[in-house]
Each structure stands twice: as structure tokens, then as C-alpha cells.
Structure 1
Amino acid sequence: MSGSVMLRRRFLAATAGLAAAVTLAACGGGGGGGTDSSAEPAGSPAPAARPWSFTDDRGKKIELDKTPTRIVAQVGAAAALWDFGVRPIGVFGPHKLQDGSKDPQVGNVDITKVTGLGNVWDEFNVEQYISLQPELLVSSMYENGTLWYVPEKSKDTIEQVAPTAGVMLTGKTATEVIGKYEELATSLGADLAGVPEAKARMEAATKELAGFKDLKILMMSGGADQMWVVNPPEYADLRHLVDNGLDIVVPEKVDEGGFFQTLSWENADTYDADVILYDTRTQALKPEEMMKKPTFAELPAVKAGQLYPWRAEAPFSYQGYADFLEELVANLKKASKLP
């Protein structure tokens, strides 16, 4: 495995609640939580008699005799599809917190109505997956051709069970990713009744972003011993923000892999910013934990109370992005240019 791939996965692991992925150690194939949905799909669109086809972001054309209804999806993909009216029967990836509540990454998915095949990195219960008799697996991709959260050790077996579809997140804008999920959901026969209203909300919030062009914004994620300054071009959500008027710090010395610059907490003041947006994902440090780092607590934006959440796992749906952008706009309206 190349150094750039390892670094990229290490960062994504540390900031997405994938503690086991830091070393990419094998954790076994134990199953996740959830209910047994092996009988019937939970609210999936009715099957169509005509042949079905879809070309994913790998350029792979999937062709089936009929529209698949028994769909298993990585949590990010499941969250997007759910908002578009598609109801997966199983999910894999972080969907349940230690207290049994939903992980934010799974969005509006009702985790009591899906089967959990794994909740952490490298955990995918292949036997349970087979028992679901899936007709399609859908996953996001950060690296071309690599389905996120599909373990390397069992990917060949998983690929043999049912066709797989990948949606690329890196190098695309949020609207492009959302459009791809909309295309997939439409092909699956989903009811898109709520799409126009959600799309209008997203567009309205997007237009407001230009009003904050004078604010210098730092996007970051915190770990125990270091912080990461994220690199906007590598993130679909940040590309959307930049393309629509926000001035986001671009790190000068991006680490190999392109996603971020790693800084020690002692160097938290490397970049000036009027506003800091912090990663809200499970494994990232919470504000109260970061405030214990003296150099961070003394940052002008932090002292001014201009520290706001970055919903880095917002579902790639119009509804998901409307919620994300409306919250961001409301917070930025409270902020001001610092001396």
C-alpha cells in the first residue's frame, strides 16, 4: 500500500470514528447491530419488470434483469439514498454509538429497520450479508475503485454475492455527488416527492454564502496530539462552500495524500482566521476537549466565540445539504471580521 493511501486512510480513520483503521488492523468479521431484515426489504421501491442498468463512478455498467430492491449500503450512501426515498435492508460502517443511539453519519436512516453488518473499520459480517440475499451493494468512494468500508480481506467474496455500485466523493462538488445519488435513486424507482422543496432550501442557503466572503474561515479536525487543517479542494462539501463565496484557509504544506496538513497543538496558530469550523464526527475532539489545549483556547476566533460545527458527514442529498447549509449560514450571521 502506498504512503499516500495510508496517510489518507489514517486521517479519514481518525476523524470519522474508525479507530481500528489507524493501523488498518484486522478486527475480525463480527456483525454489527440492527434487526434481522432477511425476509422483505424495508420500504424499498416495488420491483420493475423491465431490465435495469446503472453506470457508477468507476465507469462500471451494472445490468440486471429487474430493478433491485434488496439493497445494502455503506452508511454515507444509505443516508443519501434514504433521503431520496430508497430504503436499504442493511448497512455497514458507523451507524450506532456506544449508548445504542444513531451515529450522525447514518443520517435519517431508521437503524431499527435495517440489519447492521458492521459498525467499525474492517468489520463486515459476510455470512449475514449473504443471508440477506442482496441484489445490490452501494458505497461511497474516497479512492478511485475502492468501496469505502468494504474490507480488503473479503471484498472478492462480497463482490461475488451481488453487483456493487460506487459513488466517488473526492474531486467532485457536492452538487455532482448529490446528482449521482439522485440518478441512482431515480433508476431504482424511488418516490422523489420531497426533492423540489429540499432542493429549493439548499439553493436558497447556498446563495447566502456569498454574504460572508469577508470572513476568513479555518476548517479543522482535532485529535489527541495533533490537529488537521483540511484542504478544501479534496472535499465535496468544502468545494461547494468555496465555489459559492466562502474564503476558506488552504494549508500551505499539505501532507502526502492531499487531504490535510497535520499540525501539533503547539502550532495551532499557524493560520489566521475569523471563524473556525470544527469536525463534529465521532472520533474528532469535542470543543470542550480542544479548549484544554492552551494554544487553541487562545486563538482569536475561539476567544471571540466564533467556533462553530462542521457537519462533515452531511448526507449527499438535497435535504442533508439544506440542513447543513442552513445551520452554517445561521452561525456565520453571528460572526464578524476580527481585528
Structure 2
Amino acid sequence: MWEFTDDTGQVVRADRRPERTVAYVRAGAALHDLGVRPVAVYGSDHDGDGIDPAKGGALPAAAVPCLGPGGALTDEALSATRPDLIIDVTYDGKSAYAIDEALAGRLGVPLLTLSVGGAPLTAILERFGALAAALGTELPAPGAVTGLPEAEHVLRAALAAAGPPPRVLALSGAGPDRVHLARPDTWPELRHLSGLGVPPLDPGPGPGLNWLTTGWEHVTRLRPGLLLVDSRAHASRPRTVTGAVTVPWNPEAPPSPAAYARFFTAVAEGIAARPA
């Protein structure tokens, strides 16, 4: 008997260790980084029929088919992949984010969800590592080189050489006149950046739990020197902000050390590229 307790508190059981996993693309990309390749992935309602390259990370699109948005999945499309485990993410610790839980129930396939919300980034990465290990991958021993500690060191070094710390603002384009500004405390990787000495700016009071939706003039008032810009396919391209260096930021990056190592390295390069 194989079992794993997911982040909704459900004990997911199977007669044997699952070998044919279907996953939300973000989770599937993370597991691929950790040595477990899903047989198929699906997106969110923001996504089209293919894999958003920002969410897919190093997932080989030619080898792992995308079934389209999870909310539009049919019994026939999912059952054709012959899954023995479905893996999704949860933001509220209660329900799956991208797939209709009733669909998994109708097919009798176990559904496992891991949190990508309120926990520290290190805890999120540990949970995905634990799932990958439970699915049979051989993870590096504790303390082994994963790329993430090195990227954090590079970031701290860039910050030390930069003089005054940059004014960092994370955002997602919402059209020609509107922009979503991230509230740093609600995003694990932005909280982690704060711990590394790069605290993103809080956009200020207003409606919205994760984002403050406002006009681009508010961005100018905040005087950012470094913009972390949503790189997902559904996000609008941002305006140019005078004096600010732009770094791609994926709010749905694969929760793996390799993916966040790439992000923190890019932030370090952005800090180093700022005008003197």
C-alpha cells in the first residue's frame, strides 16, 4: 500500500506506488525537475490548450502532452491518459486549484494537492521533494548542491556590491492603462527575497488580497529601480518605466530548487545591471 498525506490533510492511498501521474503544469514541471516525469499535464483557466512556457519550466513539451485547462477537462480526455494519480496545487489548503475534484472522483483516481500559498518557500520546496521521493526519485542528500544555495549566495553578493538596496516592485500587466501590483507578504518567493535582503515594495492600501490593481502612474510614484514583471503568457506586456531594470518573474514558477535558483540568479543579474 502506497500512501501520502497531502496539504489538505487527506491521506492519499493506492495499491502500489503511482507511476502514471497527471499534474497541473506547475506541479508537473516541479516534479520533472526532481526526477518524476508526468504522463500529461493540464493548465489553469488562464491558460490555452498548450503549455505556458513560463509555467512549464524545463518540462519537455514534446514528451509530455498538455490536456488544456483543467476546468475544461472531460472524463474521456483524462481517462485516456490512464492516470493512477492526479497532482494539483492548493492556495487555500482546502481545495484543488486547477481541476474539478468531482472529475477525479468520477474516474476513481486519487487526487493529491500540495500547498503553494502561505507556507515559507523552503517548506513548499521540501513538500514537493518529499512527494518526488515518495514517487521513487532519488533526491540529493541534505546539504548537497542543488543550485539554490549558490543562487542565494550570488544574490547576496550582488546586493553587497550594489550600494543602496534597489527599490523592487513586483507586478503583472493588466492592459495598457492598468497594472496589478503584488502584495509581497502573500507570495512565498517575494517573502524569501525579503529574507535575502531584497524586500519588494508594498503597493499600499486598497482592495485585493494578492494584488492592488491600479494605474501605471502609481508605479511611477513608487520609483522602482528593479521591476519583477509577470512573465506568464496571459499577462499583458508592461510599460517601460524610466530608470528601472526589468527581470522576468513567474508567480507560478515550478516549486523546485532549480526553478527558484534561476529566478534568484536573474534578480542578482538585474541588481548588477542597474545604472551606477
Matches within 5 A, 1:1-339: 51-93=1-43, 103-118=53-68, 120=69, 122-151=71-100, 155-160=101-106, 161-192=108-139, 196-205=145-154, 207-208=156-157, 211=160, 214-224=165-175, 225-256=177-208, 258-287=209-238, 290-291=239-240, 302-335=241-274
**Identity, % of aligned pairs?**
26
Residues of 2 paired with 1:56 and 1:322: CA distance? 25
Note the C-alpha offset of 1:254.
4.0
Q: Classify 1:214/1:317 alpha carbon distance in 2 versus 1 (closer, same or farther; 3 Å).
A: same
d(CA) in 2 for partners of 1:173 and 1:208?
A: 23
Measure the CA separation in 2 of the matches of 1:240 and 1:129: 36
Question: How far does residue 114 in structure 1 lie from its aligned partner after superposition?
Answer: 2.2
CA pair 197-168 structure 1, distance change in 2 beyond 3 A: closer
Q: Which runs of 5+ in 2 are unaligned?
A: none
Matched pairs, number:
269
Instruction: Give the conservation status (yes or no) of the 8 Å contact 1:216–1:273.
Output: yes
> Which 10-residue stretch deviates more, 77-86 or 303-312?
303-312
- Call closer, same or farther: CA 1:234–1:269 in 2, change over 3 Å: same
Unpaired segments ≥5 residues, structure 1: 1-50, 292-301
**Structure 2 residue matching 1:261: 3-state secondary structure:** strand
**What is the alpha-carbon distance in structure 2 between the residues aligned to residue 54 and residue 254 of structure 1?**
40
**In structure 2, C-alpha distance between the alignment counterparts of 1:190 and 1:321, rounded to whole Å:** 20
Verify the 8 A CA contact 1:145 1:166 in the aligned structure 2.
no
- Matched to 1:158, the amino acid is A
Residues 73 and 306 of structure 1: CA distance in aligned 2, closer, same or farther (over 3 Å): same
- Taking the aligned partners of 2:158 and 2:30, their CA distance within structure 1 comes to 23
Deviation at 1:206, TM superposition (A): 5.2
1:271 is matched by which residue type in structure 2?
A: L
Using the alignment, how far apart are the partners of 1:165 and 1:121 within structure 2?
15
Instruction: Give the distance between the partners of 1:93 and 1:280, measured in 2 at CA.
Output: 16
Normalised to the residue count of structure 2, the TM-score between the two structures is 0.87
Q: CA RMSD in A?
A: 2.6
4+ residue stretches of structure 1 with deviation over 4 A? Answer: 97-102
